[in-house]
Amino acid sequence: MNTGTNQVSLDDVISIDAKLSDEETLVRDTTRRWIRERFLPGVPTHFENATFPMELVPEIAELGLFGANIQGYGCAGMNNVSYGLAMQELEYGDSGLRSFVSVQGALCMFPIFRFGSEEQRQKYLPKMAAGELIGCFGLTEPGAGSDPGAMTTRATRDGNEYVISGQKMWITNSPAAHLAIVWAKVDSDDASTIRGFIVDTDKAGITCPETHHKMSLRASLTGEIVMDEVRVPADAILPETKGLGSALACLNQARFGIAWGVIGAARACFDEALAYAKERIVFDRPIASKQLIQQQLVDSATQIALAQWAVLHLGRLKDEGKNFAPYHVSLVKRNNCAMALDIARVSRSILGGNGISVEFAAIRHMLNLESVYTYEGTNEVHTLILGRYLTGENAF
């Protein structure tokens, strides 16, 4: 509940506007307005009911946010800073919404764009940009999460088809998906090669049951992909995928968006806590007048500002095609997720008892961020990626 009328804007604290182009500001402000008008009023109910507002998908497409940084094929072709700003505004709404858009764009449209044939791009990308086809990304398995190379899903060539069997779990959007990007070990030529496939979810032998009882990302559909001898045409393979590195390249795109997105969740919590602190009277004065509360707010604003400057720098590097390595992304994904989770917890505490109600945003973001901390490479996995880069020692 952000009721502050004279509230300081974090944009001013960060001085970010001075560093954005008119187009970047427009993308941010348009997405921001849409989130406040169309998404925020309904999200507490979706969170409580564990539902996702599918009816908003055409509006998200209209905003150009599916595959927003892809050129051509009906995509908006935004630069990476605009894309990041949009992810941030979406996650100001809810991590589940940003997850939906990240999966569609970075984990499904990007692999088709980067590793697919021209026919595959023409067939899928325009409809995915329009939100007419929804995708999911199946990498994680019950026995293979942080170590996806341990996957057991197999694709075996049989004439003009591949036959795929295996189980994927914790798959965002799978219950609503028309297609899945499935990663599988291919037996025929080289047993150790992991390849990507576009698998239409209406094929015989595939089911995508929803995962229930989540206490995090409740306003997001999560499910399995269970494949029992699913036959797909040979041209369902993404021809340019060459091992696990191809899947990791997709994750790198998504992690870039996450590093921006979680700042939005942190900002939502901060804005709410600041407004609340100015109104809540305890010991005859607003709690905003108490030094300990001010310290919490100042620490939060500082961490948000530093995170914001870091992703802006990285976004500019990415747009300039300069040195942009996976460990750069690990640094900001790891730091910003932990930062946002800390700020959500502190903000929840500033709200006192009210902080445990979903009528306020803090606890919803706090619970969501536990998933974001874990998915797309856990905090520990990114620590080990950076540790390996710094020391040259593989500690996995």
Ligand X SMILES: Cc1cc2nc3c(=O)[nH]c(=O)nc-3n(C[C@H](O)[C@H](O)[C@H](O)COP(=O)(O)OP(=O)(O)OC[C@H]3O[C@@H](n4cnc5c(N)ncnc54)[C@H](O)[C@@H]3O)c2cc1C
Q: Which residues are catalytic?
A: 376
| By CB under 6 A, residue 15 contacts ligand X | no
CB distance 181 to 108 below 8 Å = yes
Structure tokens at 350: 């500033």
- Applying CB under 6 A, among 217, 219, 341, 351 the residue interacting with ligand X is 217
Is the alpha carbon torsion for 262, 263, 268, 274 positive or negative?
A: positive
**Which among 1-9, 11-19, 111-119, 136-144 is the span making contact with ligand X, rule CB under 6 A?**
136-144
**Cα–Cα distance for residue pair 65/75, rounded to 1 Å:** 8
| By CB under 6 A, residue 327 contacts ligand X | no
Residue 258 Cβ vs ligand X, minimum distance, rounded to whole Å: 11
CB nearer ligand X, residue 63 or residue 177: 177
**What is the C-alpha radius of gyration for the chain, rounded to an integer number of angstroms?**
21
| By CB under 6 A, residue 378 contacts ligand X | yes
Residue 336 Cβ vs ligand X, minimum distance, rounded to whole Å: 17
| By CB under 6 A, residue 146 contacts ligand X | yes
Residue 334 Cβ vs ligand X, minimum distance, rounded to whole Å: 11
**Cα–Cα distance for residue pair 228/203, rounded to 1 Å:** 10
Phi, psi torsion values for 139, nearest 5 degrees: -115, -50
**Which among 229-237, 275-283, 356-364, 375-383 is the span making contact with ligand X, rule CB under 6 A?**
375-383
What letters, b where the CB count within 10 A reaches 16 and e where it falls short, cover 199-219? bbbeeeebebeeeeeeebbbb
Instruction: Tell me which residues in 330-349 interact with ligand X (CB under 6 A).
Output: none
Residue 28 Cβ vs ligand X, minimum distance, rounded to whole Å: 26
- Applying CB under 6 A, among 34, 381, 382, 385 the residue interacting with ligand X is 381
| By CB under 6 A, residue 222 contacts ligand X | yes
- Applying CB under 6 A, among 172, 253, 336, 347 the residue interacting with ligand X is 172
- Applying CB under 6 A, among 139, 219, 230, 339 the residue interacting with ligand X is 139
CB distance 113 to 70 below 8 Å = yes
CB nearer ligand X, residue 137 or residue 162: 137
Structure tokens at 5: 């009328």
For 66-178, list the strands marked E by DSSP.
135-138, 154-158, 161-172
- Applying CB under 6 A, among 140, 246, 335, 347 the residue interacting with ligand X is 140
| By CB under 6 A, residue 375 contacts ligand X | yes
Work out the widest C-alpha separation in the chain, in whole angstroms: 79
**Cα–Cα distance for residue pair 168/153, rounded to 1 Å:** 8
Residue of closest CB approach to ligand X: 145
Burial class (CB in 10 A: 0-12, 13-18, 19+), 68: buried
Residue 133 Cβ vs ligand X, minimum distance, rounded to whole Å: 16
Residue 61 Cβ vs ligand X, minimum distance, rounded to whole Å: 20
- Applying CB under 6 A, among 85, 171, 182, 293 the residue interacting with ligand X is 171
Instruction: Tell me which residues in 97-126 interact with ligand X (CB under 6 A).
Output: 103
3-state secondary structure of 228: strand
| By CB under 6 A, residue 66 contacts ligand X | no
Sequence-ordered list of residues with C-beta below 8 angstroms from that of 87, at least 6 positions apart, any chain: 98, 101, 102, 257, 258, 260, 261, 264
**Which among 12-20, 140-148, 151-159, 306-314 is the span making contact with ligand X, rule CB under 6 A?**
140-148
| By CB under 6 A, residue 137 contacts ligand X | yes
**Which among 118-126, 164-172, 301-309, 322-330 is the span making contact with ligand X, rule CB under 6 A?**
164-172
CB nearer ligand X, residue 273 or residue 337: 337
| Residue (of 389, 60, 81, 126) closest to 256 by Cα position | 81
| By CB under 6 A, residue 71 contacts ligand X | no
**Cα–Cα distance for residue pair 185/155, rounded to 1 Å:** 6
CB nearer ligand X, residue 289 or residue 378: 378
CB nearer ligand X, residue 138 or residue 264: 138
**Cα–Cα distance for residue pair 147/129, rounded to 1 Å:** 31
Looking at residue 73, what DSSP letter applies?
Answer: T
CB distance 268 to 345 below 8 Å = no
- Applying CB under 6 A, among 161, 187, 342, 380 the residue interacting with ligand X is 380
- State the pairing for strand pair 206-207/193-200: unpaired
- Residues lying near ligand X in the complex (CB under 6 A) are found at 103, 137-140, 145-146, 170-172, 217, 222, 371, 374-376, 378, 380-381, 384, 396
